[in-house]
Amino acid sequence: MILQVKDLHSYYGKSHVLQGVDLELDQGDLVCLLGRNGVGKSTTLMSLMGLVQPKKGSVLFKGQELVGRPSFQIAKLGLGFVPEERRIFKSLTVEENLQIGIKAPQDARNYDPWTVERVFDSFARLAERRSNKGGHLSGGEQQMLTVARTLMGNPELILVDEPTEGLAPLVAEAVLEMLAAISQSGVTILMVEQNYKAAIKLAGSFYIMSKGRIVFKGDGEELIAAEDVRQTYLEV
């Protein structure tokens, strides 16, 4: 098991956002965290990354406790974060944005590291735009660049926050295909998403969150079968 989260509690001021979250990911998993807006999904990712410091609970990454560590130490251990806001450098080219993210893997033995050229070999759309400035990219291309820049840190696990938010359906599909390819390369992914119909084609297992708690865990077939759960926690 690469990630084990137990009884995680996080706050914003006095607001108790995460109220005992439990998650488990095995090496190579692609797991989707579903739920409506404001239920704590993004806070979960930020708590795992140390951007929000939990007040209670445990986050074990490859057996090492992350709670209490600053974000830069967590990144060095092998976690990457893809923020919803993307945060690319708009005045830099695609290639320059990727170069900024370069970090050697923790253990180079038997590991094919992500490099600028490997990114371009793997994702043709970014290769076509390698000399374009970040600010000149479409929303979908910016999202792809954000994911690829995270890969340049050679993480073993990436946390991806709302990768299809605001994207047209065909563009969103291309972003999800990119994540599927990354997962198939051996990188573990925990993805926050609202559109379960899109995610179900991609993820192997699902958690549903409501009011800071996990209310469902299962695979795609179990999610499809749980009509009452979907109507209560996902559908409008």
pLDDT of residue 201: 87
- Its CATH class, for the domain covering 3-233, is alpha beta
Tell me the per-residue pLDDT of 29-51, one tens digit each, with 9 for 90 and over.
999 999 999 999 999 999 999 99
Domain boundaries, the chain: 3-233
Of 2, 52, 50, 43, nearest to 21 by C-alpha is 43
φ and ψ at residue 153, rounded to 5 degrees:
-80, 0
Residue 164 — φ and ψ, nearest 5°? -105, 5
Question: pLDDT by residue (tens digit) across 154-167?
Answer: 999 999 999 988 88
Backbone Cα Rg of the chain: 17
pLDDT > 70? residue 143: yes
Lay out the sheet containing 157-161: strands in order across. Answer: 79-82, 157-161, 188-192, 30-34, 205-210, 213-219
